[in-house]
Structure 1
Amino acid sequence: MRNRGRPVAALVSSLALVWSFLALPAAAQAAPPAPAATPPMGFNNWNAFGCDVSERLIKETADVLVSSGLKDAGYQYVNIDDCWSLRERGPDGRLVPDPAKFPGGIAGVADYVHDKGLKLGIYGDAGTKTCAGYPGSLGHEELDAQTWADWGVDYLKYDNCNNQSDGSQEDYIRRYTAMRQALDKTGRVIVYSICEWGTSQPWTWAKGVGHLWRTTGDISDNWASLRSIIRQNAPLAPYAGPGHWNDPDMMEIGNGGMTATEYRTHLSMWAMMAAPLIIGTDLRAASAETLSILGNRALIAIDQDRLGVQGAVVSDGNGLMVLDKPLANGDRAIALYNSTDTLATVSVATGLTGLRPAGAYRLTDVWSGAETQVKSTISAGVPAHGTVVYRVRPLRDPAGVAPAVAVGAELGTVVPGPTGGGTLTTTVTNRGVGAIRDVSVAANVPEGWTATPTPSPERARLATDATLRTTWRLDVPAGTPAGHYPIDITASYRWGPRHRPATTSSQIIATVVTAPEDGRRHLSTISPVTSANATGPVETDQSNGGALENDGNLITIAGHVHQRGLGTTTGSELRYYLGGRCSRLVTDVGVDDEAQGGPATFTVYADDTAAATSGPVAAGEAPKPLTADLTGAAWLRLVADSPTPGTHADWATPILTCGDVPDDSPTLPESQTLFSFESGTDGFTIANPGDGGTVAPSPLFHTQGANGLAVSTPVAGNWFGRTLAAPVDLSGRTMLKFDLKAGDVGTVGEIAVQVGESFTWCQGGLWTWTNPHSSRTVTERFDQISCPVGVTLDRSDIRAVWVFLNTGGEVLIDDIRAE
């Protein structure tokens, strides 16, 4: 046989090279990278767009990932979430992309994304239908996995709605393992994201099944949600590692519900927790600030570090947390996290971290790039809701590196006027090796304010770990509006043998309080000046369920349900500034039905005088009414106490009266009830007759009047509501609400409206989950409700209102309303 092309000698040489390569030990051969060896990075459309997903959106997002530099920073997955398919499978049983949304099909989108050097993700559900009611994959695992593989999909987010589950961990393992096996059978590498909301503690079983697993419920674009998720995910460090990651959900950075400081905390803590970095904002319209936060390569390097260790919690108390994460090059990443509402000095001794002993340490701030040195304590003044992250390594010669100087401050409430003002305390602490000299501190207050220091805000010399403490008297002009005002604290000093000048600054936010305006209002609509609680946060318009935000039920005392109130535990105190302008507080008090305990004693203080007290109230006892005379009081205090702190203690429907108003004046904010079910079902029907469901009046649950509505829900869910007899004008209203109590299997709650003569369907997409036998108010802001392109949600022309319920059990609802 003639050898064509290369000489025989060259061919023999090549074969020898191939044979020698094959003969190498397996470890010496270049193996393909393992899936999700570092936490996945990319984009998902849900947080910003909900069901409004399309081929155009995905392609344009891929373009921006490339043009913005985010692809080069490590973001590679472009993930499609729910609502991408038709409502029914095709004749062959396969999932069918919606041709209106994806005219080129998913395979065409995959080709486009791959050509950009990116990867494509898709969404599925381990139930009969997705959370938005599209076909689920339960019982179709192999067919769907092969379909996605054939299309070129690289990533699967696998949700948990309509799951037919008995609630056992064994069922969760079975359903999610079925898809794992189906993906393996395709032969295609597909990163597998388990999205069962942490329900079955997947961190204890999902390693080897999924590459990442959700540890919490859905994130929302607000500080309370972010703080709660950090608290839930941070302790799970032992369960994470290369190829198996704790997933605290997609990022909200850039969506507008939080401050830049909070968004920096978002990325900082996700990176420290080795979390997947999945962008959830419209990158096509992202601001330079948003792109700068998302593209912080120093933080991304910490998240993507090949060692693959989630940062461990070193200390956690009083809202301050320190995380320590080892890095592959021997550095440590140290995060100082402040979840409180004011500037705080967060510190950790180097000996409590994994740093090896040294005479000094170099700190590199991953946000500013500044380099400083410390002797034995890492410390910083961290703004409210902020996080400082350092890369830290031992330092042999600290003489040429500036010392770390922590500037802190404390400030109580500020009241305008000659008899008010406030007290500011500042601290300057030298943490570096060697003394600093000519130390002075200045407080830059808003125009018109004055800050008078005592003692002198100067010190000639400040040794290592020494502190300069200064107290300032603040005077604030009368008439200053209530609000938040920044005060910059700047320390100036000289350091090193050459006496180099340097400054360090922190910012504290002064809270100016003024008395409430005239009127009768629900106390839960007024923010307390201070709030202390024995267990978790004080909850607004719900009970205190436990340690996390928004984990309670509707306030329920001896079977009576309240829409408004404050959920506390015994061992709590709330303070409100009244300024001598309020006359009365009326409230019911009692121990919540959700958790037996007590007894609890409730006391209302007008300044330091007890204006009303309940005496001991036992669990199961009917609520006790309290009326407190607050005439002339500057401060209102609510105290719940008992011999056993932690009893769930409710202030139910507290109404504060201020100014000269009649007793029968309306209570603010006013609600406009749309459906109350007092005379029957109010004509409720189902939007999709083929999907099933029934309604009937019921006295078993009511938050207004004596009756509610019992809804028998289909497993996959349906919309319940009706067309209104005449258009309703909801101009001036900002949100829609309804109250519900779930049965044995829990439910998703959602709200939609139809508007205009065409009865256009507009929907929010929040899909609020309520656990079995739990209750809550489902809320949808009008600015969260999306209409089809070209349609404006005209609040003056509401034609129909619908609520979505699912999971195949009975759900009780009442009082569908606008506020």
Structure 2
Amino acid sequence: MRHLLTRTTRRRVVGALTAGLLGTLGLTGPAPAAHAEATAQAPAAPAAPALDDGLALTPPMGFNNWNSTHCRAEFNEEMVKGIADIFVEKGLKDAGYQYVNLDDCWALPARDANGKLVPDPVRFPGGIKAVADYVHARGLKLGIYTSAGTKTCNSAGFPGALGHEYSDAQQFADWGVDYLKYDNCNNQGMDAKLRYTTMRDALKATGRPIVYSICEWGENKPWEWAADVGHLWRTTGDISDNWGSMLSIMKQNLPLAQYAGPGQWNDPDMLEVGNGGMTDNEYRTHFSMWSIMAAPLLIGSDLRSVSEETFDILGNREVIAVDQDPLGKQGAVVSSEGGRWVVAKEMKDGSRAVALFNETGSAQRIATTAGAVGLPEADAYTLRDLWQHKSYNTAGTISATVPARGTVLLRVSADDKWAKNPPAVELGLEGSTLIEAGKAAALTTSVTDLGRTPAKRVSASLGGPADWTVKANSPTTAGVLPTGRALRTKWTVTAPAGTPPGSYELTLKASYRSPSGTRAESVLPLTASVVVAPPSGTSYLGDLPWLSTTNGWGPVERNTSNGESAAGDGNPLTINDVVYAKGLGVHAESSIEYYTGKACETVTAQVGVDDEEGSEGSVAFEIWADGTKAASTGVLTNAQAAQALSADVTGAQVVRLVTTDGGDGITSDHGDWGDARLTC
């Protein structure tokens, strides 16, 4: 948890290790009373047994206020009670959500004369027990937060539990707490396993069943040692409400599938669904991928003010069932190439949940097979679309054209019920959806039968904005499509002259009938971008419009550094004391796409790690021309001067600037594209 500390400050606080502080804690020399309490009550020598307490047998589901409120005044008793009521009223409790968790800022900055924690009387006038009683009365459970350090992560410095583990755990139990999130700030350099094991033992000593969430950001690889310490452990740094952050965290968590199981879960941080920094399509991807990764589903938005679409996403019981499957498997990567991901999760009933995930900014065909995801050979399979809530049959191909930043989430099974379902069809699109206003664009659509049975009376239609011209130039119907055959239709699409640049919706629809006469329909939402040809001559990229961006933390900044999480909070672009007036400030993993319309020749820049990160940060830079890497650097650190990077992009329709972590993990990876220019 970052709380109100900056990322850099947090790292420094966590790493602080001074003799004075250690002495105060009793970690050098004789133990003072506070630390002696933990020492005296802790079990003697034997190692604690593995956690077999029956808790968190499926990933915990609930709510945590931090992502929506941070430490602001609206985090209070009224809010917490309101969330509990909404869980019941909106059916979230029945869908499986049960924990209502308080994050930081619930306590006063100082303990009382007896060393006890004191709830903030302004935020929680009735105390924590009264809130717990209210939550319990609604059939829900209460969670609370503290840190495995002298203070929590908030810059106001609320008391942490280091040296007070047993008394704090007993207070939590006495209040009726059911879940503890245990953070990692101000830990004075104490061994992570020792810090977290001590609190495990303290919780156990209370006799109350309390789910234990280890939040040390994956710094000490808890997946390798924490199975008998906590029920879940953070695998990454903090999430923020943007596509780049969510994507980066997902990629860090996916390789850890082998460590998850009942009572021991990889935790890629809380959900951002509904907080407003992503589109509903991106939030569906977020929810789909967290579910197939068997991640805890902790709502991070203020449910008192979110949209109905947010409730629809969070309340999708078919997707939740993937996350909560009692077999407890985390989905594993089947394939990943060019931003096209296939992730499959074995389910207790023998079926497979399959995510077809498209991380790119344009629609992509993503395909696999029933055999590749682990299903036995069969004549046909039942394929259930978990967002469309429709079932089909497939001869074994599992594929879809997936919209930009979208996910198609399926459940596929080898059973004898497939024949009652219509055949699955795959909708496809060929040709560029980057359209210059007033110029006709040629597109080709396809409707392909993936089923074991034929699709009959097939028709295709392509729709766009009301004032656009969409004209079919070849047949839009077919009497029958056998397995594997496709109806292909050529179209001309024209946006009127003067159409402003931006994104516009296109919709491809197919209707057809199964052999028994059952009517079926399939819909593929697409995005067309109206673009403007780049100017002739040489232009600064920081001044040109881009097609899309992703960024690991905060937004991409024009002509300033990345700064922190808010737009416009950067500093002058500075690499090894050299300041650049123009350029782009990013944070790995980052990607910026520009339309070049096959009219440009070169991209040049001075690249490196921005000075605002001190000695931290290491990144690598790449320039891509359409799907080909045209230039790249090695790993650059803050100690290095800017490196010149140049690429020939002749003939490319799209140029992409990519900044990676260099393969060594993401820590304060602020990158600068200084003096970045495009010549056309």
Asked if TM exceeds 0.5, the reply is: yes
1:687-746: CA deviations, max 9, x gaps?
Answer: xxxxxxxxxxxxxxxxxxxxxxxxxxxxxxxxxxxxxxxxxxxxxxxxxxxxxxxxxxxx
- The answer to whether 1:338 aligns with 2:330 is no
* Paired residues of 1:343 and 1:408 also in contact (CA < 8 A): no
Q: Distance in 2 between matches of 1:288 and 1:253?
A: 12
* Paired residues of 1:274 and 1:303 also in contact (CA < 8 A): yes
* Structure 1 residues 623 and 380, CA gap change in structure 2 (3 angstroms): closer
For 1:508, the equivalent position in structure 2 comes to: 526
Q: Distance in 2 between matches of 1:182 and 1:126?
A: 12
Aligned mate of 2:162, from 138, 141, 144:
138
Matched to 1:504, the amino acid is S
For 1:104, the equivalent position in structure 2 comes to: 126
Aligned mate of 1:57, from 76, 79, 82:
79
For 2:373, the equivalent position in structure 1 comes to: 353
For 2:342, the equivalent position in structure 1 comes to: 322
Q: How does 1:65-76 map to 2 (within 5 A)?
A: 65-76=87-98
For 1:744, the equivalent position in structure 2 comes to: none
For 1:152, the equivalent position in structure 2 comes to: 176
Larger radius of gyration: 1
Aligned mate of 1:254, from 268, 274, 278:
274
Matched to 1:340, the amino acid is T
How far apart are residue 565 of structure 1 and its match? 2.4
* Structure 1 residues 303 and 522, CA gap change in structure 2 (3 angstroms): same
- The answer to whether 1:651 aligns with 2:673 is yes
Matched to 1:260, the amino acid is D
How far apart are residue 183 of structure 1 and its match? 1.1
Aligned mate of 2:243, from 219, 223, 231:
223
1:74-128: CA deviations, max 9, x gaps?
Answer: 1111100000111111100111111111111111211221122111111000111
Matched to 2:606, the amino acid is V
* Paired residues of 1:343 and 1:507 also in contact (CA < 8 A): no
* Structure 1 residues 532 and 266, CA gap change in structure 2 (3 angstroms): closer
Matched to 1:514, the amino acid is V
1:542-570: CA deviations, max 9, x gaps?
Answer: 999xxxxxxx999765553558426799x
* Structure 1 residues 377 and 207, CA gap change in structure 2 (3 angstroms): same
- The answer to whether 1:165 aligns with 2:189 is yes
Matched to 1:490, the amino acid is K
- The answer to whether 1:179 aligns with 2:199 is yes
The secondary structure found in structure 2 opposite 1:36 is coil
For 1:83, the equivalent position in structure 2 comes to: 105
* Paired residues of 2:605 and 2:677 also in contact (CA < 8 A): no
For 1:589, the equivalent position in structure 2 comes to: 606
How far apart are residue 576 of structure 1 and its match? 3.5
* Structure 1 residues 587 and 566, CA gap change in structure 2 (3 angstroms): farther
For 1:434, the equivalent position in structure 2 comes to: 453
How far apart are residue 143 of structure 1 and its match? 1.6
For 1:196, the equivalent position in structure 2 comes to: 216
Q: How does 1:253-652 map to 2 (within 5 A)?
A: 253-396=273-416, 398-418=418-438, 420-496=439-515, 498-514=516-532, 523-524=541-542, 526-529=544-547, 557=575, 559-560=577-578, 562=580, 564-565=583-584, 575-577=594-596, 589=606, 651-652=673-674
1:403-443: CA deviations, max 9, x gaps?
Answer: 0001022442534444x332323222110013323433221
The secondary structure found in structure 2 opposite 1:251 is coil
Matched to 2:406, the amino acid is G
* Paired residues of 2:272 and 2:300 also in contact (CA < 8 A): yes
Q: Distance in 2 between matches of 1:597 and 1:221?
A: 24
* Paired residues of 1:138 and 1:175 also in contact (CA < 8 A): yes
* Paired residues of 1:146 and 1:186 also in contact (CA < 8 A): yes
- The answer to whether 1:94 aligns with 2:116 is yes
1:122-165: CA deviations, max 9, x gaps?
Answer: 10001111111211111211121111112111100011112222
* Paired residues of 2:108 and 2:117 also in contact (CA < 8 A): yes
How far apart are residue 320 of structure 1 and its match? 1.7
1:41-88: CA deviations, max 9, x gaps?
Answer: 111111111113211211121122122221121111110000011111
* Structure 1 residues 624 and 186, CA gap change in structure 2 (3 angstroms): closer
* Paired residues of 1:124 and 1:157 also in contact (CA < 8 A): yes
* Paired residues of 1:84 and 1:97 also in contact (CA < 8 A): yes
Q: Distance in 1 between matches of 2:216 and 2:208?
A: 23
Q: How does 1:11-26 map to 2 (within 5 A)?
A: none
How far apart are residue 504 of structure 1 and its match? 1.7
For 1:777, the equivalent position in structure 2 comes to: none
* Paired residues of 1:207 and 1:244 also in contact (CA < 8 A): yes
* Structure 1 residues 425 and 202, CA gap change in structure 2 (3 angstroms): farther
* Paired residues of 1:61 and 1:284 also in contact (CA < 8 A): yes
* Paired residues of 1:338 and 1:387 also in contact (CA < 8 A): yes
For 1:118, the equivalent position in structure 2 comes to: 140
How far apart are residue 370 of structure 1 and its match? 0.8
* Structure 1 residues 75 and 525, CA gap change in structure 2 (3 angstroms): farther
Which one has a larger percent strand, Structure 1 or Structure 2?
A: 1
Q: Distance in 2 between matches of 1:567 and 1:45?
A: 28
Matched to 2:507, the amino acid is D
Q: Distance in 2 between matches of 1:275 and 1:80?
A: 19
Q: Distance in 2 between matches of 1:244 and 1:604?
A: 43
* Paired residues of 1:513 and 1:577 also in contact (CA < 8 A): no
Q: Distance in 2 between matches of 1:287 and 1:154?
A: 29
Aligned residues: 593
* Paired residues of 1:343 and 1:410 also in contact (CA < 8 A): no
* Paired residues of 1:640 and 1:649 also in contact (CA < 8 A): no
1:176-229: CA deviations, max 9, x gaps?
Answer: 112111111222111100111111221111111110011111111222222222
Greater mean deviation of Cα atoms: 240-249 or 524-533: 524-533
* Paired residues of 2:342 and 2:356 also in contact (CA < 8 A): yes
Matched to 1:163, the amino acid is N
> C-alpha root-mean-square deviation of aligned residues, in Å?
4.4
How far apart are residue 379 of structure 1 and its match? 1.7
Aligned mate of 1:240, from 260, 275, 279:
260
For 2:66, the equivalent position in structure 1 comes to: 46
* Structure 1 residues 320 and 87, CA gap change in structure 2 (3 angstroms): same
Q: Distance in 1 between matches of 2:264 and 2:483?
A: 43
How far apart are residue 651 of structure 1 and its match? 3.5
Matched to 2:88, the amino acid is V
* Paired residues of 1:411 and 1:510 also in contact (CA < 8 A): no
1:760-808: CA deviations, max 9, x gaps?
Answer: xxxxxxxxxxxxxxxxxxxxxxxxxxxxxxxxxxxxxxxxxxxxxxxxx
How far apart are residue 276 of structure 1 and its match? 0.8
Q: Distance in 2 between matches of 1:393 and 1:578?
A: 44
The secondary structure found in structure 1 opposite 2:371 is helix
* Structure 1 residues 163 and 521, CA gap change in structure 2 (3 angstroms): farther
How far apart are residue 636 of structure 1 and its match? 9.2
Q: Distance in 1 between matches of 2:572 and 2:326?
A: 46
How far apart are residue 650 of structure 1 and its match? 6.1
Identity within the alignment, %: 49
Q: Distance in 2 between matches of 1:522 and 1:186?
A: 63
* Structure 1 residues 507 and 188, CA gap change in structure 2 (3 angstroms): same
Q: Distance in 2 between matches of 1:530 and 1:502?
A: 34
